[in-house]
């Protein structure tokens, strides 16, 4: 896939289409001078170099990576048209593509009947699910896991919905006993579960949450913004299965699900999705707009979404991507499997390393770890973790980009009872291995991070010896 070729093709095909209409004169008000354009463009690309190298596997930090070239080509081709998927009047061609990709996402989750649409983000998609939660169970609150995304609480505040926080178990998953206690108060209308938490990639036990919620008359919304596409791996047979299938299969029995194609779906930003199992929830969106919706009696996407203008190019980019990397184990599933295998392998290498400790076994492709310190006090773990991150990203040669997560003392000791608690919380290192290239790059990434950890955890005596070039004793 030669990106340059397809970008040019998109421009040419667009031009050919415009030429099928009558000639018209370009307006001088729109003219830009070539020289000025070159200078400004050069400044733009120079300034963009101030970004972190999200494209490279040495960037093993946050949930960031460039879109697939296919998505870029699809986006550009449609962006030249600049359709608006709010209404069929704004984007007849791309609205049809949106309906098709939403059908495919729904099928991936095992939803037969459904109603859904793309959104500009996972936050917006969850807002819509929380809005429907409020409308369908007026006066009732929402139960959210403590490891759930921070925007749930924020959006519930916006909606005037009460939030009940549910404790997590010692792997960061929603604790079902704690959920049962919250549900038994009778004040919960909807449970928000997360399959793939943002910090740890923990997968809530949806297969146990769904029957529990049903017993108490509550709905279930799944925030699969990050983890949703791992459903493609759920049919793998053990042994060798990369994810535990029950939670993913239980999504089919939930009331709504959110997924972010701009995270694991290879898309540029501006692409989330919300899907409801009951098409009847459309009634909560009912509104009238005197200045849109002209050309069709077919429902417009804007009639079932809270946003108004929304990029049709997002739908086109996702449509083209799914044509070439379909929602199957062999298609997009292969991309997710590589990151998952990388996480498993790195976790193994970390466990064997004398310089690193694994915080908890990864459930998806997010690895959490920290430098081995003596004494293993939280303050020192936090300081050395931050030191490793900073020195990694500031290195002139062979930089490596990691991120950190803040962990409370109680959560830490639930996993590592031997750490010395001398502060309320500590940062640990966190790497999201969402690029399949990470799998091969581990050969370089692991020794590099291990070396940084080794340097960050030197004792004062070792530091002194290092400064004067005195080799370490053979014992270590």
| List of residues contacting ligand PLP (CB under 6 A) | 121-123, 126, 149, 151, 194, 198, 223, 225-226, 260, 272
Nearer to ligand PLP (CB atom), residue 81 or residue 199: 199
Rounded to 5 degrees, φ, ψ at 322 are -75, -20
Nearer to ligand PLP (CB atom), residue 94 or residue 121: 121
The C-alpha angle 266, 245, 254, rounded to 5 degrees, equals 80
Nearer to ligand PLP (CB atom), residue 188 or residue 192: 192
Contact yes or no for 413/419 (Cβ under 8 A)? yes
Cβ burial 1-13 (10 Å sphere, 16+ → b, else e)? eeeeebeeebeee
CA distance 373 to 242: 31
Nearer to ligand PLP (CB atom), residue 230 or residue 441: 230
Radius of gyration of the chain (CA): 25
Nearer to ligand PLP (CB atom), residue 86 or residue 264: 264
CA distance 360 to 34: 55
Q: At what angle do helices 378-394 and 438-456 cross, to 10 degrees?
A: 120
Nearer to ligand PLP (CB atom), residue 225 or residue 343: 225
What residues contact 150, with CB distance under 8 A and at least 6 apart?
A: none
Closest Cα partner for 401 from 24, 59, 44?
59
CA distance 277 to 113: 6
Q: In the complex, what is the shortest distance from the CB of residue 321 to ligand PLP, in angstroms, rounded to a whole number?
A: 17
Nearer to ligand PLP (CB atom), residue 122 or residue 339: 122
Q: In the complex, what is the shortest distance from the CB of residue 147 to ligand PLP, in angstroms, rounded to a whole number?
A: 9
Nearer to ligand PLP (CB atom), residue 67 or residue 382: 67
Q: In the complex, what is the shortest distance from the CB of residue 209 to ligand PLP, in angstroms, rounded to a whole number?
A: 15
Closest Cα partner for 119 from 262, 326, 325?
262
Nearer to ligand PLP (CB atom), residue 226 or residue 229: 226
What residues contact 66, with CB distance under 8 A and at least 6 apart?
A: 54, 55, 72
Nearer to ligand PLP (CB atom), residue 220 or residue 419: 220
What residues contact 88, with CB distance under 8 A and at least 6 apart?
A: 95, 293, 295, 296, 298, 300, 301
Ranked by CB distance to ligand PLP, the top (closest) residue is 122
Extended beta strands in 214-294, E state: 219-224, 256-259, 272-276
Q: In the complex, what is the shortest distance from the CB of residue 6 to ligand PLP, in angstroms, rounded to a whole number?
A: 26
Distance of CA 93 to the CA centre of its chain: 28
Q: In the complex, what is the shortest distance from the CB of residue 19 to ligand PLP, in angstroms, rounded to a whole number?
A: 38
CA contacts within 13 A on the Cβ side of 7: 6
Q: In the complex, what is the shortest distance from the CB of residue 198 to ligand PLP, in angstroms, rounded to a whole number?
A: 4
Q: In the complex, what is the shortest distance from the CB of residue 268 to ligand PLP, in angstroms, rounded to a whole number?
A: 12
Q: In the complex, what is the shortest distance from the CB of residue 37 to ligand PLP, in angstroms, rounded to a whole number?
A: 33
Contact yes or no for 300/88 (Cβ under 8 A)? yes
Q: In the complex, what is the shortest distance from the CB of residue 172 to ligand PLP, in angstroms, rounded to a whole number?
A: 12
Pairing of strands 141-145, 115-119: unpaired
Q: In the complex, what is the shortest distance from the CB of residue 121 to ligand PLP, in angstroms, rounded to a whole number?
A: 3
């Amino acid at each position: 896939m030669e990106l340059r070729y397809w970008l040019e093709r998109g421009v040419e095909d667009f031009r050919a289409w415009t030429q099928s209409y009558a000639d018209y004169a370009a307006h001088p008000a729109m003219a830009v001078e070539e020289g000025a354009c070159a200078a400004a463009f050069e400044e733009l690309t120079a300034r963009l170099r101030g970004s972190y190298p999200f494209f490279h596997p040495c960037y093993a930090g946050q949930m960031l990576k460039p879109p697939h070239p296919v998505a870029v080509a699809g986006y550009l081709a449609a962006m030249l048209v600049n359709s608006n998927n709010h209404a069929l009047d704004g984007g007849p061609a791309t609205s049809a593509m949106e309906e098709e990709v939403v059908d495919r996402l729904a099928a991936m989750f095992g939803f037969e009947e459904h109603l859904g649409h793309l959104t500009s983000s996972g936050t917006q998609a969850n807002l819509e699910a929380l809005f429907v939660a409020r409308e369908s169970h007026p006066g009732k609150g929402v139960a959210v896991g403590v490891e759930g995304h921070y925007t749930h609480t924020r959006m519930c505040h916006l909606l005037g919905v009460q939030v009940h926080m549910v404790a997590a178990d010692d792997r960061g998953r929603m604790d079902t006993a704690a959920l049962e206690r919250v549900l038994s108060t009778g004040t919960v209308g909807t449970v928000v579960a997360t399959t793939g938490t943002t910090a740890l990639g923990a997968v809530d036990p949806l297969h146990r949450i769904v029957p529990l919620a049903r017993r108490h008359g509550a709905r279930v919304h799944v925030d699969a913004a990050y983890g949703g596409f791992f459903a493609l791996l759920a049919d793998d047979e053990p042994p060798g299965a990369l994810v535990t299938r029950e939670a993913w299969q239980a999504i089919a029995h939930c009331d709504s699900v959110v997924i972010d194609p701009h995270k694991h779906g290879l898309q540029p930003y501006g692409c989330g999705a919300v899907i409801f199992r009951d098409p009847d929830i459309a009634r909560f969106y009912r509104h009238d707009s005197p200045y849109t919706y002209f050309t069709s009696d077919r429902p417009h996407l804007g009639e079932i979404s809270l946003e108004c203008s929304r990029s049709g190019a997002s739908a086109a980019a996702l449509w083209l991507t799914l044509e070439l990397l379909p929602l199957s184990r062999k298609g997009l599933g292969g991309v997710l499997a590589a990151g998952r295998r990388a996480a498993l392998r790195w976790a193994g290498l970390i466990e064997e390393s004398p310089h690193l400790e694994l915080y908890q076994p990864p459930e998806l492709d997010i690895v959490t770890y920290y430098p081995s310190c003596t004494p293993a006090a939280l303050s020192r773990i936090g300081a050395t973790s931050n030191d490793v991150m900073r020195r990694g990203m500031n290195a002139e040669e062979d930089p490596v980009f990691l991120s950190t997560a803040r962990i409370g003392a109680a959560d830490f000791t639930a996993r590592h009872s031997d750490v010395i608690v001398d502060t309320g919380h500590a940062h640990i290192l966190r790497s999201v291995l969402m690029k399949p290239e990470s799998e091969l790059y581990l050969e370089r990434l692991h020794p590099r991070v291990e070396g940084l950890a080794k340097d960050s955890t030197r004792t004062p005596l070792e530091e002194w010896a290092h400064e004067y070039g005195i080799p370490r004793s053979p014992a270590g």
